[in-house]
Amino acid sequence: ERRRLALPQAEDGSPLYRARGLCCSFPAPVSADAGPADGGSAASGGTRTALSDCDFEILPGSFTAFIGKSGSGKSTAAKLLSGIYPSYTGSLTMKGVELSSLAPEAIYGYTTYISHRDWIFKGSVRETLQEGRGGSRIPEEELWQVLEDVQLADFVKEAGGLDAALQEGGANLSGGQRQ
């Protein structure tokens, strides 16, 4: 299966993303007391619908947040938009191209998914920001820009700069700072 790496230039005012009738379901967990009210039986496991018939548009350059009660599909929608979940029904387009036809690299240039789970290892702020770069180093000015963008630059400066120590799991940070 061939997937597109490049996206067309969007027309002014056209949405970056457009969802029409977007649905996403997952296998329901199998438990000894699962029944029809739980979306299936213990034998089959059934399915759990995370999104059903959703329509929305996201304009380029906008800051978008999904807000709702627990289990309402916020994380699912964000993971679909960022290409983490590739399976859906309905239509989900990026710059007019169906998301399922795009290579992950094409999606990653436009969307960032920030998990509610934090993964911080013991080490310095610098080491944590460099994590996952395959040995390539990010210039210091870019690291500070990232910290500015997420409103943590002042905190990091007060804590001792990029070489400030982080405890395992971010034990020395607040929940918001870990995210």
Residue 29 scores a pLDDT above 70? no
Torsion of CA 109, 111, 117, 119, to 10 degrees: 10
pLDDT, residue 157, reads 93
Q: Say whether 164 sits in a helix, a strand or coil.
A: coil
pTM above 0.95, yes or no: no
Rg of the chain taking only CA atoms, in angstroms: 20
Query: What is the arithmetic mean of pLDDT over 14-23?
Result: 87
Secondary structure tally for the chain: helices H, strands E:
6, 6
Quickly count: other Cβ atoms within 10 Å of residue 41's Cβ.
Answer: 13
Distance CA 34, CA 73 (A): 21
Residue 161 scores a pLDDT above 60? yes
Q: Which distant-in-sequence residues (6+ apart) come within 8 Å of 67 by Cβ?
A: 74
Distance CA 84, CA 88 (A): 11
Residue from 142, 141, 172 nearest 155 by CA:
172
pLDDT, residue 37, reads 42
